[in-house]
Structure 1
Amino acid sequence: MNQEIVVIANGAPYGSESLFNALRLSLTLAEREGVALKLFLMSDAVSAALPGQAPGEGYNLRQMLEILLAQGVPVRLCKTCCEARGLSALPLIEGIEIGTLAQLTDWTLAADKVLNF
């Protein structure tokens, strides 16, 4: 039996460790047998989906997102949040899509657990 888990992340990519911690947990959850994980980025977290970011030393959020995508985890961005930040027309990391609040609502209602960062 699969356990449906939705992770919602709001934190800015490199301003705090909130998004980093959401992705760390997501990576660990995605490796577990019987877990169906979905990731939804909102607020300032949506800017982590822009390709070409070159952080200095430390963690690389793009790499973490690409690993999740390779593991089959759907990653969606809040459409309203993207529009507010002028990201809607920009290229995204391959595999990441812009989603809607209705989609997040459906994910939430179908989930066994929802984790918010």
Structure 2
Amino acid sequence: MNNNTQTLLFILNDAPYGSERSFNGLRLAINLNEQDEAKTEIKIFLMSDAVGCALQKQNPSEGYHIQQMLEILLAQGAEVVLCKTCCHARGLSDLPLVDGVQIGTLDDLSRWTLQADKVVTF
């Protein structure tokens, strides 16, 4: 990382569908990556019901598609980590996840928070 790069940590808490909070967080992260004047390192930590954002085979009937948004971010070089405790609590630990997503811990979130230039929560 060079001195001109900003590290941005997004912490998402809401389910992928129902409210638009996770959608808006991912939308902002994608848009920041597309800004010519800004060099960003995007990290996304999914907690609570947001861990459902990383499940494969999403098939929304209309509107936005959270799985595709995560795939775009991963292709742009973002790191995406799910809260292990939140996954276990929701029975998601053994379900197929979007390729490139990892399961992490509160220690990972703490380290990312300390390293981030900005922390954004949704």
TM range (shorter): over 0.9
Indicate yes or no: 2:20 matched with 1:21: no
**Where does residue 63 of structure 1 map in the other structure?**
68
**Where does residue 5 of structure 1 map in the other structure?**
8
**Where does residue 116 of structure 1 map in the other structure?**
121
**Where does residue 89 of structure 1 map in the other structure?**
94
Deviation at 1:53, TM superposition (A): 1.2
Give, as a single letter, the amino acid of the residue that structure 1 aligns with 2:66. L
Deviation at 1:85, TM superposition (A): 0.3
Indicate yes or no: 2:111 matched with 1:106: yes
1:33-58 Cα distance to aligned partner (Å, 9 max, x none):
31111011110010111101100110
- Structure 1 segments (4+ residues) deviating >3 Å: none
**Where does residue 38 of structure 1 map in the other structure?**
43
CA distance in 2, matches of 1:110, 1:28: 22
- The secondary structure found in structure 1 opposite 2:10 is strand
Deviation at 1:70, TM superposition (A): 0.5
Corresponding pairs, count = 117
**Residue segments in structure 1 that go unaligned for 5+ positions in a row:** none
Give, as a single letter, the amino acid of the residue that structure 1 aligns with 2:29. S
**Residue segments in structure 2 that go unaligned for 5+ positions in a row:** none
Indicate yes or no: 2:59 matched with 1:54: yes
Percent identity of paired positions between Structure 1 and Structure 2? 60
